[in-house]
Structure 1
Amino acid sequence: MEYERRYQPNEFYYFANIINPFPSFMRQLYFLLFLFTFLCGQALAQEGWLGWKVGEENRKWKSFSSMESRGLGLDSIVNHYKREGYLAAFSKEEKRNTDSLWISIDLGPAIEKVNLSSGNLPTNLVKNINWGEKTFVEVGFLIDQILQDSENDGYPFASVQLDSISRTGGGIEASLNYDYGPLITWDSVKVNKQNKTSEKYLQNLVRIIPGTPFSEKQLREAVKVIDRSPYFKSSGYPALTFQFQKAQPTFQLLERNANVIDGIIGFLPNENEPGKLLVTGQLDLQLYHLGGKGRDVQVSWQRFNELTQSLAINAKEAFIFNSPLDVGGNFSLLKQDSTFLRRDLGVIFGYRVSPNFYLNFLANRVASDLLATFGYRDVEELPEVADYRWSEYGISAEWDLLDDVIAPRRGFKLGVKASAGNKRILENTGLPEDVYTGLDMNTPQYLLHLNWEKHVFFKPNWGMFLGGAGGWVQNENLLLNDLFRIGGLKSIRGFNENFFYASSYAYLNVEQRLFFGENSFLLVFLDGGILENPYFANSKERPFSFGAGLNFETGSGVFRFIYGVGKSSQQPLTFSQSKIHFGYLARF
């Protein structure tokens, strides 16, 4: 291996400070002595020099750290010419000194064409190969491909040589002589001791199964999977140990600061008490990779106004019973002022199809009940809010092609969910019995949801974020407490959290970002959408908003400040209705 030492200016500076108390001529003397010692050290550090020429062509000298590495370098040079068709190429020593060697390379006649046959090449490696006349470079590429296929099928020490060589004019005829070498299978994976990640979890993640044939391609894919993990990333290519015909990889992992505490405080105009502010809030606690086993727990609390609050709890256990399935559960509670209470309880089974594609199967039970019925005593038909139960079953998928899981600059991400189930309306004794007469109490309900984001990177300090979402829910007896909730910091900014109800919606977020750090940037944004609410006189709404903000990364988290102004049929475009959100997202 070749080493190159470059002198660092601070070394001279450090030495100058040491000799500063001495007279000028002494400083010069010590400086020359130091420089001589340094240059001698440089010369001693280079154990071997190699120079060579091919015909009249002169080559530059190359330095090597040892005599052994110089010998390997010489073999590499000669083999380079052999691969180009000079099979008789050999090196001839011209001059040898204590620390240098000068050689000349005699190429001999070039082999222009090779009439190649398969020889003893195994049948599984012969597929899709066109035999016959080839250039010598093509033969080299073919042999490389055979060796690559072998190392991906359990034979990393396989070898291929030309055999039965005979001269035919300017070319040769030859066949391939293939040697399998020993069959190598996978052993269990190892993780560097400084990392908390369970070796069993990592083995399930990268899908390296002990006893299966070794594959170099599988090892490269494992590195890609690791680098896409939100928990850790690789610090280099894994080390391989071969023993007793088994290959054991040792992965060097660097843990990411994946855990999150995110708190946001909002100051909104108090609609019930004009002239005063209403303080709202949000708290997210996300704990990832607990115990080093891919176990996640997330808790989210929000307060939208004086009487409305929500709570969501999610948990996931990875590779349940060492199977490829992840199992998760979720619970959410929404209290909408004094109108209704909604509870969701569900279970999710997840499967990672590929490093970029994740599939979920879900089952969910939704229950919603009226909190107050006094205002509905005299209604003649089912009101917009009612008691119901919905058994939801569905599937969701996520494609993640972002370049970084935490602070992406490029790439695309897409999530899709589709579900269906039976919804049953319950009779509430606080409502007149007549509202349920002739009503189909059991009906199918369908739901579709989509979200996406795109990151574009123009220059080192300039990028763009594009994102959006859409949803659709359908039922014969669609209620207000069935509808999607849109608006706020994570959807259409410039409005209160969950400001809009929608049976169908789509919105787009556009941000221009001016970066001054890896995840620090100034932004200006424009949000716009279209949504439909069957319970509003103006059933179709086209809200939009604009504003600016700051995302500032510190050593242990991210500070966020967003200012937005929005307009809709329910909110005029005025700065008195503007929304300010700020908070600190701490990672640990």
Structure 2
Amino acid sequence: MICFTQISYAQDSSVLIWLTNNDEVKQEKLFLSSSSREIFLDSILTQKVAEGYLSAYWNQETKADTLFAVLDLGPKIKSVRIYSDNLPTRFNEGESKNERTYLEYSKWTQKILLQAENEGFPFASLELDSVKRDGESLIGSLVFDPGPRITWDSVKVEGQSRTSPKYLQNLSFLEIGKPFSQSKFEQATLLISCSPYFSLARNPELRFQQRKAQPVFTLRDRRANRLDGVIGILPNENEQGKVLITGQLDLELYHLGGKGRDIEVHWQRLNVETQSLSLGYRESFLFGSPLSARIGFNLLKQDTTFLNRNFELSFGYRPRPNLSLSFFTIREASDLISTFGFGEITELPDAADFRWNQYGFGLDWNTLDSPILPRSGWRFLTNFSAGNKRIIQNTAIPEEIYNSIDLNTAQYSVYGSIEKFINVNPSWGMWARSSFGWIENENLLTNDLFRLGGLKSIRGFNENFFYARSFGYLNFEQRLFFGEGSYLLAFVDGGIIQDPFSQISRDTAFSVGGGLNLDTGNGLFKFILGLGSSNEQPFSISYSRIHFGYVATF
């Protein structure tokens, strides 16, 4: 078979016309440059060689503005008979046959070289020796040259980044002195590119010297630190016709000292007498191990009803680039604030004093394309905890009430969410999230329950508006982008909530709204308007929720 190719030039473009040997037109293509034409011709030649036409070549002749190219295929090699006496057995496991088609031979040799470069021999080579032709077959000996054995040297950091080489060494999982592996280098590149602390300023490099390979990563720090102050304007339920100003402060400092140390401070005033405080500290690669550690403290003062505090200690491990596991223990304490009128009750009130020691594990599977503003990918989060809850006797409550219940019981809790980002085109995207939770105990209390409502769960309601023993809700957003981090949004939220202490134990929440996320270069400006409906809140403009604020990034 002979293929004819004709390229005609029109100003800066090239036209490629495929012809068969009987001059029938097979295909016509337009090229914008001669270099793209040459790439296409090379791809044809490579394909034919892979099919067994080892002596294929192009005969080219230029006339005026036209290039004529004739592909001479030559004879086809259908099979290769190989003797590989010096090939290490580990490269030939599961391969008992000596004769293969040429395509099988090509794949087999590529597999050997790939295995070699992942076992410390990136310069390994294969050659056919004493080659003879027998009809449409080749007979020869395969000579394997492993080349020098290469081991990993220390990771080098370049660029405008405060990241310490020791931190990057731990993050990459490339161990000094271990055999070189191309696949591990690619995995390290993926891990580093997904970091929320920095991004790759250019493609990573490998520098080989004295039988060592030094990976070089040029980094650019992300603007990950955040200072967020939000003001909420809500209807004042205590004084009709007036509004209530609430506040929120979020301070997040990441990658302190370039070592993956994080500090978080979150404060929120939900209404006149309700406030919350959350503090956290995270240390990456604890004592040089692959484990991260986090300690946290959370406080919630619910008006004059109860005060919750919990102390958390957790350890995280990342076995794969997109998978993180965590193991944690939490000590939760809750105390009543006001016990007025409890002296005459005959059963345990909805809220009571308790201590809960829980132990659990979590999973985070993340394939998002960006840790800051993802446009596509999935993320799945879940955690499960179990432990013993002990109800504490309060002197303001009659003692006989406690005598009728089991004060020490097992308590279980499950929480999870799955979210999906869909990138339809550069100016249009969608986001969907489904979340669920469940808690179980024979002496369940109001101050045990999940808290839902607000910007981070079901919008269109006050923060922590709902109490829930079990819940499931869905968030859906349409986003119209007009910049890298700026977009208009329209959302619909809906969920089912079970609260055993409510008059109607099963509530259906629904909300709609819209807003704006504006990237100013030095931060993010947010404006969200939501309108929600539930058993306890009518669908009315007077109950709309407005949240706006500015998140400074530095």
| TM-score class normalised by the smaller sequence | 0.7 to 0.9
Give the superposition deviation at 1:273.
1.5
User: Contact conserved, 1:450 with 1:469, CA < 8 A, in 2?
Assistant: yes
Q: What is aligned with 2:150?
A: 184
Given the alignment of the two structures, is residue 555 of structure 1 paired with residue 521 of structure 2, yes or no?
yes
Structure 1 partner of 2:313: 347
Structure 1 residue 125 displacement after superposition? 0.7
Aligned in 2, Cα 1:86/1:478: closer, same or farther, shift over 3 Å? closer
8 A contact 1:381–1:434 mirrored in 2: no
Provide closer, same or farther for how the CA distance between residues 412 and 105 of structure 1 changes in structure 2, counting only shifts above 3 A: closer
Q: Is the 8 A contact 1:118 1:131 kept in 2?
A: no
Cα distance change on mapping 1:92 and 1:407 into 2, 3 Å: closer
Residue of structure 2 aligned with 1:441, choices 407, 416, 419: 407
Equivalent in the alignment of 1:157: 123
Q: Which of 303, 326, 336 is equivalent to 1:370?
A: 336
Using the alignment, how far apart are the partners of 1:79 and 1:453 within structure 2? 43
For residues 89 and 267 of structure 1, the distance between their equivalents in structure 2, rounded to whole angstroms, comes to: 76
Tell me, yes or no, if structure 1 residue 578 matches structure 2 residue 535.
no
Residue type at the aligned position of 2:477? E
Give the Å deviation of 1:261.
1.1
Q: 1:236 aligns with which of 189, 192, 202?
A: 202
Correspondence 1:517 to 2:488: no
Helix, strand or coil: the match of 1:211? coil
Q: Which residue of 2 aligns with 1:143?
A: 109
**Does structure 1 conserve the Cα–Cα contact (< 8 Å) formed by 2:159 and 2:201?**
no
Moved over 4 A (4+): 75-94, 103-110
CA contact (8 A) 1:117 1:131 kept: no
**Partners of 1:264 and 1:343 in 2: how far apart?**
24
Query: 2: distance between equivalents of 1:136 and 1:531?
Result: 64
Indicate the SS of the match to 1:543: strand
Distance verdict in 2 for CA 1:108–1:339, change over 3 Å: closer
Residue 231 of structure 1 aligns to which amino acid in structure 2? Answer: Y
Shift in CA distance, 278/108, structure 1 to aligned 2, threshold 3 Å: closer
Partner of 1:484 in structure 2? 450
Q: 1:275 aligns with which of 238, 241, 248?
A: 241
The whole-number CA distance in structure 2 between the counterparts of 1:88 and 1:500 is 75
1:535 aligns with 2:465: no
What amino acid sits opposite 1:127 in the alignment? Answer: E
Residues 435, 517 of structure 1: alpha-carbon distance in 2 compared, 3 angstrom cutoff: same
Q: 1:358 aligns with which of 324, 333, 336?
A: 324
Determine the structure 2 residue equivalent to 1:466: 432
Q: How does 1:246-265 map to 2 (within 5 A)?
A: 246-265=212-231
Instruction: Select the structure that is richer in helix.
Output: 1
CA distance in 1, matches of 2:46, 2:372: 46
Q: Distance in 1 between matches of 2:483 and 2:75?
A: 59
The CA deviation string for residues 385-436 of structure 1, in whole angstroms up to 9 with x for no partner, is: 1111000100011011111111111111110010000000111111111211
Residue 544 of structure 1 deviates from its aligned partner by: 0.8
Separation in 2, partners of 1:79, 1:466: 44
Question: Residues 91 and 561 from structure 1, CA distance in 2 versus in 1: closer, same or farther, beyond 3 angstroms?
Answer: closer
Letter in 1 for 2:281: A
Q: How many correspondences in the alignment? A: 516
CA distance in 2, matches of 1:93, 1:310: 77
- CA drift at 1:338: 0.8
- What SS is found at the alignment partner of 1:299? strand
The alignment's C-alpha RMSD in Å is 2.9
2:292 to 326, 338, 341: 326
Alignment of 1:198 onto 2:189: no
Q: Which amino acid aligns with 2:471?
A: Y
Change (3 A) 1:76 1:427: closer
> Closer, same or farther in 2 for the Cα pair 1:88/1:536, shift >3 Å?
closer
Letter in 2 for 1:481: N
Give me the whole-angstrom Cα distance separating, in 1, the residues matched to 2:271 and 2:57: 85
Change (3 A) 1:429 1:250: same
Alpha-carbon separation, structure 1, partners of 2:48 and 2:242:
84
Supply the AA of the counterpart residue of 2:534.
S
TM-superposition CA deviations, 1:323-348 (whole Å, max 9, x none):
01001101001111111111000100
Alignment partners' CA distance in 1, 2:393 and 2:497? 30
- Any gaps of 5 or more consecutive residues in structure 1? 1-59, 65-74, 95-102
Q: 1:281 to 1:80 in 2, by over 3 A?
A: same
Distance across 2 between alignment mates of 1:93 and 1:570: 81
Question: Is the partner of 2:317 in helix, strand or coil?
Answer: strand
Instruction: Check the 8 A contact 1:118/1:126 in 2, yes or no.
Output: no
Distance (whole Å) between structure 1 residues aligned to residue 336 and residue 109 of structure 2: 74
Secondary structure of the 1:144 match is helix
Write the deviation string for residues 56-112 of structure 1: whole angstroms up to 9, x where unpaired. xxxx9x999xxxxxxxxxx99999987665667899999xxxxxxxx9999875534
- How far apart in 1 are the matches of 2:510 and 2:136? 76
Change in Cα spacing, 1:63 to 1:428, as seen in structure 2 (3 Å) is same
Amino acid at match of 1:305: N
C-alpha change, 1:147 and 1:531, in structure 2 (3 Å) is same
CA deviation vs aligned residue, 1:486-538 (integer Å, no higher than 9, x gap): 11111111111101111111111111111111221111111111111111111
Go from structure 1 to structure 2 and tell me whether the alpha carbon gap of 1:127 and 1:406 turns closer, same or farther (over 3 Å shift).
same
CA shift, 1:313, in A, is 0.5
CA–CA separation in structure 1 for the residues paired with 2:48 and 2:481: 49
Letter in 1 for 2:299: L
Give the match for residue 387 of structure 2: 421
Match of 2:352, as an amino acid? A
Relative to 1, partners in 2 of residues 1:85 and 1:323: Cα closer, same or farther, differing over 3 Å?
Answer: same
- String of CA shifts for 1:211-249, please: whole Å, max 9, x gaps: 110011111111111111101122233222212211111
TM-score by length of 1: 0.83
Q: Hey, what's the Cα distance between the residues in 1 that align with 2:499 and 2:243?
A: 28
Q: Distance in 2 between matches of 1:573 and 1:63?
A: 65
Aligned to 2:417: 451
Query: 1:314 and 2:280 equivalent?
Result: yes
Q: Tell me the amino acid that sits aligned with residue 162 of structure 2.
A: K
Compute the displacement of 1:175 (Å): 2.5
For the 8 Å contact 2:159–2:219, the answer to whether it is kept is: no
Match of 1:416, SS?
A: strand
Higher strand proportion, which one? Answer: 2
Distance 1:441 1:193, change over 3 A: same
SS in 1 for 2:344: coil
Q: Say which SS state the counterpart of residue 187 (structure 2) adopts.
A: helix
Change (3 A) 1:272 1:141: same
Structure 2 alignment gaps of length 5 or more? 1-30, 36-41, 62-68
State the secondary structure of the residue aligned to 1:542. strand
User: Is 1:498 matched up with 2:464?
Assistant: yes
Q: CA deviation at 1:163?
A: 2.0
